[in-house]
Amino acid sequence: MKKALLSAALVLALAAGGYAVLLGHFYGVMKQPPVEFAQAWADTPSQLKRWVPLELLLTRARSGSLSVGERAPDFALDTPDKARTVRLADFAGKRPVVLVFGSYT
Amino acid sequence: MPALNKLYNEYRDQAEFWMIYIAEAHASDVWQLGVNKRDEVVFASPETIEERAELAAVCVRDLGIEFPAIVDDFDDRVEQAYTAWPDRLYVVDVEGRIAYKSGAGPYGFSPQGVEETLEQLVGGLQEISAVR
């Protein structure tokens, strides 16, 4: 009886440990550029994916370092047709700027 | 995106709107989503900045985004500076400071937060000019 309890506890501990490693793994790749996470996700069997709390992990791992009130990092990027280079600092003192980050998929 | 188009059309005279096209999260060679496959949104990761710019143009056109777009550098430096993937919204005020930062998308993607911030910022501007 005692032996059965012990082995049950051992199995539970191993499962919990494995789960923690899995979550830690995804948390780590979510900190990286999107391809890293995409690759890790693609390599994960679907039975395991069901156990990954994506929203919680993504919200935490992608919380970022910028906060409200901080200076927005400047950038200069081209339009897709390269007709114009847009610098964030050019709008300072003029108008607020809405930045919509995204991709197709 | 319809909600953002609507905001753009309401506020375009008072604020800048820019879509920043960042690295694809679900390119076909790494992570194909069933939903994208159904919509026939399937393509490989771009290998040059030119390819990324082409993809950006397709994205803006097919998603019906009405405001202008710019393309992140191939080293993803702006995405990294803003912790932007998978998607995220910011409002930068007239002084160049962050006035609003959404949570990480898709869960935290909130056009409503942008609208509330714009109301405050632009409303504030109007008050100042009224005093003058």
Question: For the purposes of burial, counting CB atoms within 10 Å of the CB of A78, is it exposed (0-12), middle (13-18) or buried (19 or more)?
Answer: middle
CB-nearest partner of B16 from A65, A89, A95: A95
B18-57 residue pLDDT tens: 999 998 766 555 455 555 555 555 566 788 888 889 889 9
N residues, chain A:
105
What are the pLDDT digits (tens) for A5-22? 999 999 999 999 999 998
A83 touching B, CB under 8 A? no
Q: Is the pTM of this model over 0.90?
A: no
Q: Is the pLDDT of residue A27 over 70?
A: yes
ipTM of the complex: 0.85
Termini Cα distance of chain B: 37
**Identity of the residue in A72, A74, A103 whose CB atom sits nearest the CB atom of B21:** A103
For the beta sheet containing B69-71, the strands, ordered from the edge strand earlier in sequence to the opposite edge, are A85-87, A76-78, B69-71, B16-21, A97-102, B88-92, B98-101
pLDDT at A40 over 60: yes
Sign for the pseudo-dihedral over CA of B73, B55, A28, A65: positive
Q: Among A41, A65, A104, which would you mutate to test the B interface (most chain B Cβ atoms within 10 Å of its Cβ)?
A: A104
Map tokens 């395991």 to a residue. A48
Alpha-carbon span A21 to B25, nearest angstrom: 23
How many angstroms separate the CA of residue B89 from the nearest CA in chain A? 5
Give the span between the Cα atoms of A102 and B85, in whole angstroms.
Answer: 7
Q: Is B72 on the interface with A (CB under 8 A)?
A: yes
Angle subtended at Cα B43 by Cα B41 and Cα B47, rounded to the nearest 5 degrees: 145
pLDDT digits (tens, 9 = 90+) for B66-103: 999 999 998 899 999 999 998 999 999 999 999 999 99
A50 to chain B, minimum CA–CA distance in Å? 15
